[in-house]
Amino acid sequence: MWVITVHSKNSVQMFEFDNQEEAKAAYKDIRGVKYLSHVIYYNDFDIEELSNF
């Protein structure tokens, strides 16, 4: 999951995306102080997959 956090003058907003391409496309159009984060839930992966991460 990808999350864009936007800090504007009066609020903080968060937007969730399923993939990086979608998040980066939205990131370009958003104004304000913004952060793009990749959220990884380790319980969603097998131990074998984590060792290759």
Distance of alpha carbon 19 from alpha carbon 27, whole angstroms: 12
Write out the H or E segment, with its range, that includes residue 10.
Answer: none
The pLDDT tens digits for 25-50 are 999 999 889 999 998 877 766 555 54
Q: Per-domain residue ranges for the chain?
A: 2-51
Distance of alpha carbon 19 from alpha carbon 25, whole angstroms: 10
The yes-or-no verdict on residue 22 having pLDDT over 50 is: yes
pTM for this predicted structure: 0.73
* pLDDT at site 49: 54
The yes-or-no verdict on residue 23 having pLDDT over 50 is: yes
* pLDDT at site 12: 95
